[in-house]
Homo-oligomer: A and B are copies of this chain.
Amino acid sequence: MTDQATTTFADVSRVEEVAPGRFTAAAHPEWTIGGKPNGGYLLAMLGRAATSSASHRDVLAASAHYLRAPEPGPVELGVEVLRTGRSASQVRARLTQNDTSCVEAMFTLGALDAESKPYWGEGMPEPEGREYADCVPVTGPAGGGPGPVIMDQVDLRIQPEDLGFGRGAPSGAGVLRGWLGLPGGADFDPLSLLYAVDAFPPATLDIALTGWVPTLELTAYVRALPAPGPVRVLHKAQLIEGNRVDEVCLVWDSRGRLVAQATQLAGIRLDPPA
């Protein structure tokens, strides 16, 4: 994050209801990678429209299929509440630009309990990686220009061992570990966690240098209300085959509790192995 960050996450993901189930919003030009809005940021915007339309306030599960990347600027969101149950509601949401669908999402909403504790978590990795102060801030392209300018809006830090891609020497492990903070040091909530699970650069950078790795599908589960402070992120690639890669993202809060997790399938172009 540099001094260029001008807006809060609540600002850039704001939605305005213009008719029942119809919202307008603006995809911020600085919350982009290569000129295209970040996918998790768009999912958070959809989640904000979904939760403001339903009687349950927290996103428990979100899944999105990405059809086209919208341009920065005005977008519309359409929301349909499909079911309102006692403990959960289900909502469909669509982000369009110029009447063309860009993101199709589904949400299961409920209530996250601030007092909840893990009952059993032995199947989940423990938080790993260096502490916040030992990680290196990642910034956007020097002098502006077409790159991950979103990195100048947030406080994204990666541990030095995982930054080999920056000097053309990826480790080969396919793992990026570090921390994420919101503009102005704002606390995370279930909606901004939908951004957090897609905030890191592609974990494939730690394997091979490639161009854009466009998300085809992203599914996120919010598991607990996050404590104040930046979140610890582990972003890892699992399998590259047939020009597609799956990545897993785990997000822990400042207490070390897993608060969100995601899986995504993305397109990738690589030269054949030597």
On A, residues with C-beta under 8 Å from B are 60-61, 63, 65, 67-68, 82-83, 87-88, 90, 92, 101, 104, 106-108, 112-113, 116-124, 172-175, 203, 207-208, 216-217, 219, 221, 223-224, 236-242, 244, 246, 248, 258, 261, 263, 265, 267, 270, 272-273
Q: Write 20 A-B pairs (CB below 8 A) sorted by A numbering.
A: A61-B216, A63-B63, A67-B82, A108-B216, A108-B265, A116-B241, A117-B241, A118-B241, A119-B272, A120-B273, A121-B240, A121-B241, A122-B174, A123-B174, A123-B203, A217-B219, A221-B263, A224-B241, A224-B242, A246-B261
Contact for A122 among B104, B116, B172, B258, CB less than 8 A: B172
- With known contacts A88-B216, A221-B265, A239-B123, A65–B173 Cβ distance under 8 A: no
B residues near A241, Cβ cutoff 8 Å? 116-119, 121, 223-224
Which applies to chain A's interface (DSSP): helix, strand, loop or mixed? strand
B residues near A107, Cβ cutoff 8 Å? 65
